[in-house]
Amino acid sequence: MDADRLPRWRPLLLVGLLLTSLMVTLPVASAASGDLGLTSAISPLQAQHVNAFNQVPLEVQVTNEDPGGSSAPRDIEWEACPEGAPSGHTHCDQGSGTIPSLPTLQSYTYAFSTTWSPSTSHWTTGTVEANYTVTFSFVEADFDTSDDELTVVVVVTKEFKDIMVPEDQDPRDGLLDVASDNDGAVLNTNVTYPRQGETWRINYDVYLCGDCDLNMTWGWRLTHDFGGAPVAESYTDVDLTGYNWGGLTQLTT
């Protein structure tokens, strides 16, 4: 080898060694093992109207998309923010949980232990509804990041009223002179049955916002099992204007 050319190769060799060293020590981005995907939102749903005064359950469907075996448990989070607010904003709400191990190619509906109570304290006077963004995401993404986050937009509204009638009530309670068999009370057509007491009392709960009014028509209807016109019915107009409470209150009619 020509001695005059030796000094030219030594610097090149040194640079090559330095580049190799840098390539070896570059950090590698961490990723969760397996391939879990957030496949659909169960609650709330996309474009759903949400009562501003109710607790909203948070549920999401998760699928193990790895054909190679069961998945490891994976931490998951949810965040609900007014539309346009950045993640972590003071008006955002958050929660977390852990997805259990799932068999290969199986789906699972995960329900967070906490619910979401929409924050509306920042709404300007007169605002009755606004869009919110609810995001489900894994704390640590896997190699397929395309389905590691799922976002739905919902409408939070103060205009909803919630009326609930307990299912264990029987409108036949209190009727007199009623025949019975193994299936319970037997009512005959074209017969008037007197009641014990002056009114037909049916309990129901009304959930109103603090500045909402409610006018409703409330009553009962007796129909045949096979449908057709009602055998009998009766309705009463109920005006709750001026009550303006927030919370559950029991009424009777």
pLDDT of residue 226: 83
Residue 61 lies in a domain: yes
Structure tokens at 14: 């040194």
- Give the span between the Cα atoms of 163 and 248, in whole angstroms: 9
Find the domain containing 226 and state its range: 162-252
Give the mean pLDDT of 5-24. Answer: 48
Is the per-residue pLDDT at 197 higher than 60? yes
Among 157, 174, 206, the domain-final residue is 157
Going by pLDDT thresholds of 50, 70 and 90, the confidence category of residue 32 is confident
**DSSP E strands: which ranges in 18-164?**
36-43, 49-51, 59-64, 74-82, 93-99, 107-111, 129-138, 149-157, 162-164
Backbone angles phi, psi at 220, to 5 degrees: -140, 160
The candidate with the shortest Cα–Cα distance to 154, out of 96, 61, 83, 78, is 83
> Tokens 């950045």 — which residue?
86
Enter the pTM of the model.
0.61
Residue 77 lies in a domain: yes
Q: Are residues 182 and 239 in the same domain?
A: yes
Residue 2 lies in a domain: no
Q: What angle do CA 134, 135, 141 make, to 5 degrees?
A: 175
Q: Are residues 141 and 177 in the same domain?
A: no
Structure tokens at 151: 């976002």
Neighbouring-strand partners of residue 151: 135
Q: Are residues 137 and 232 in the same domain?
A: no
pLDDT of residue 218: 76
Q: How many domains does the chain have?
A: 2
Structure-derived torsion over alpha carbons of residues 98, 100, 103, 105, reported in degrees to the nearest 10: -20
Residue 28 lies in a domain: no
pLDDT of residue 108: 97
Going by pLDDT thresholds of 50, 70 and 90, the confidence category of residue 241 is low
Lowest mean pLDDT among 7-21, 66-80, 89-103, 152-166: 7-21
Residue 14 DSSP SS3: helix
